[in-house]
Chain A
Amino acid sequence: MNPTRFMALTDRVLPWLGSAAALLLGVGLFAAFFLVPPDYQQGETVRIMYIHVPAAWLGMFAYIVMTSASLGVLVWRHPLADAAQKTAAPLGAVFTFVCLVTGSLWGKPMWGTYWVWDARLTSYLVLFLLYLGIIAIRQTMDDTPRGARVAAIMTLVGLIDIPIIKFSVDWWNTLHQPASVFRAGGSTISGSMLWPLLVMAVGASALFLTLHFMALRNEILRRRIARLTRLSVRAGEADELEAAE
């Protein structure tokens, strides 16, 4: 798909996607605050789960999007793949940051501390640092093909952190609880608490896609402006030369 076709397609898709995100997040938040009962051990604090868990999933999902885009950069050298990789990184960093902060605010009343250096928390902090590193590379190397390739290679190297995050709670003794939604043998969460979580997760995913498409459109516009500016400068220089002759 070329950038012009992408702009036309997202023109039609974005209003629907944004509306779906708003509706699902509205229903999910209403259920999280007014329908879900307090947990028998955690009390009201369990309500933090409805933003912490979707943010955690999206932090990792954004990295998978970046990895796919990086393959597009390195293998096919597709212009949209480069822009997709570049624009997914700040969004991934934002959701990872939200996950870390909400996790700390959940940990204090439940564990008695905001932070412990256990495998799950530490590997997730590494993911946040990876995002910051990739953003720094993109900013220092501008939109050069070399910058895109370096960021893509760093993204592929950092992919090793995703399975470490996922399985850290199985491989090591952690204060963080083991998987309770996607696990062999089914979810351990009660149905009355699970469905709002899934609604929030789908809504947050729709929000991520909406924001990513919008950021991608901005990046396409930015590149068009840069190209037009270069052409305009060249045309001005040609006019000056002609006048001098």
Chain B
Amino acid sequence: MNDDAHWSYILAAYGVTFAVVGAVVWRIVAEHRRLLAELARLQDNGGDDV
């Protein structure tokens, strides 16, 4: 098998890794922002009651 064929496997392996790890990072950061916003909303609405 020549080196060109090898590179397709190398790029596929790195592509999958970056896509999967990138998706995890994006999801955790997005979730953090959503939770912070929800916590702020709860504290604003009912902060005095709770």
Give A residues with C-beta under 8 Å from B. Answer: 38, 43-45, 47-48, 51-52, 55, 90-91, 94, 97-98, 101-102, 105-106, 108-109, 207, 211, 214-215, 217-218, 221-222, 224-225, 228-229, 231-232, 235
Contact = CB atoms under 8 A, between A and B. Distances in A.
Range class of the B interface residue count: 20 to 34
Dominant secondary structure of chain A at its interface with chain B = helix
Contact of B14 (A38, A51, A94, A228): A51
A234 B36 CA distance: 22
B29 A214 contact: yes
A56 to B, nearest CB: 12
Given A47-B10, A48-B13, A214-B29, A221 B42 contact: no
A48 B49 contact: no
Contacts of A109: 1, 5-6, 9
B39 A224 contact: yes
Contact of A218 (B21, B35, B43): B35
A124 to B, nearest CB: 16
A45 B28 contact: no
A228 B39 contact: yes
B16 A44 contact: no
A224 B32 CA distance: 13
Dominant secondary structure of chain B at its interface with chain A = helix
A215 B43 CA distance: 22
Interface in B10-37: 10, 12-14, 16-17, 20-21, 24-25, 28-29, 31-32, 35-36
25 contacts: A43-B6, A44-B6, A45-B6, A45-B9, A47-B10, A51-B17, A55-B17, A94-B24, A102-B16, A105-B10, A105-B12, A105-B13, A108-B9, A109-B1, A215-B28, A218-B28, A218-B31, A218-B35, A221-B36, A221-B39, A224-B39, A225-B35, A225-B39, A229-B42, A235-B50
Given A214-B32, A217-B32, A228 B50 contact: yes
A211 B1 CA distance: 38
Contacts of A48: 9-10, 13-14
A232 B16 contact: no
Nearest to A38: B3
Nearest to A48: B13
A91 B27 CA distance: 12
Nearest to B43: A228
B42 to A, nearest CB: 5
Contacts of B16: 98, 101-102, 105
Contact of B7 (A44, A106, A207, A231): A44
